[in-house]
Structure 1
Amino acid sequence: MENGKEAKDIHCSGQSFDMILIDKDIPIMNGIEATKKLRSMGIGSMIVAASPSSKEEEIREFMEAGLNDYKVKPFTFTMLSSIIDKIV
């Protein structure tokens, strides 16, 4: 997906995913807005932010939008594996 609106539109079309990796700084509809919209649509998929920021206020705002987890980039194999383990 290229932007937050596309993520919302894909779910509106009936597709679903076990996990959504999303960044705060994506075009058209940022990650926080997209997460809020997906949650308001009843989407229960695990949503994980992948962002370069470790600022507590940004993390809190994103978590309040409905995230399941927040990871600071760059992603490592161990980080990704721990996320996937939560789904399985």
Structure 2
Amino acid sequence: MSRILIVDDAKFMRTTLHAILSKDNHEIVGEAENGEVAVSLYEKTKPDLVIMDITMPVMNGIDAIKKIKEIDVNAQIVVCSAMGHQKVVVDAIELGAKDFIVKPFDEHRVLETVERVLSYITS
């Protein structure tokens, strides 16, 4: 069972991801509504994977990825973004995000992406 931190400013999106991942036996170790809270929770919970929204108040996902990677260069991060934000997704991947999920979420795609990224850790 993997430990996952969900980061999205929309409560509905966090709830949706929580439901998809819990049903697949992943443990949700925390939920954050912005990048600042995400960085703090990352330090406390040391999750196996972070699912990170890009566009958020206080601290956006790009800045949060930078900070998390400073804390842990091996952090496994998947970004989630709405269609049409390819440039930002590319930026996130260049900073070390492992993959991305497009909103609105497709349950199969979410689980497939999570499994693929987590398999990098164990292999």
- Normalized against structure 2, the TM-score is what? 0.63
How many Å apart are 1:5 and its aligned residue? Answer: 0.4
When you count strand as a share of all residues, which structure comes out higher? 2
Q: State percent identity of aligned pairs.
A: 28
Deviations 1:53-87 (CA, angstroms, capped at 9, x unpaired): 33432221111121010122111111111123221
Size of the aligned set, in residue pairs, is 87
How many Å apart are 1:18 and its aligned residue? Answer: 1.6
Which aligned segments of 4 or more residues in structure 1 are displaced greater than 6 angstroms? none
Residue 36 (structure 2) pairs with residue 5 (structure 1): yes
- C-alpha distance in 2 between matches for 1:10 and 1:43: 16
Deviations 1:17-53 (CA, angstroms, capped at 9, x unpaired): 1221111111111000000110011153321111003
- Corresponding residue SS for 2:59: coil
Aligned match for 2:64, one of 15, 21, 34: 34
- Corresponding residue SS for 2:46: coil
Aligned match for 2:89, one of 39, 42, 59: 59
- Corresponding residue SS for 1:59: helix
When you count helix as a share of all residues, which structure comes out higher? 2
Q: 2:100 is aligned with what amino acid?
A: Y
Give the aligned CA root-mean-square deviation in angstroms.
1.6
Q: 1:7 is aligned with what amino acid?
A: A
- Corresponding residue SS for 1:49: strand
- Normalized against structure 1, the TM-score is what? 0.84
The runs of 5 or more residues in structure 1 that have no matched partner are none
Q: 1:8 is aligned with what amino acid?
A: V
The runs of 5 or more residues in structure 2 that have no matched partner are 1-31
Q: CA 1:55/1:15 → structure 2, altered by over 3 Å: closer, same or farther?
A: closer
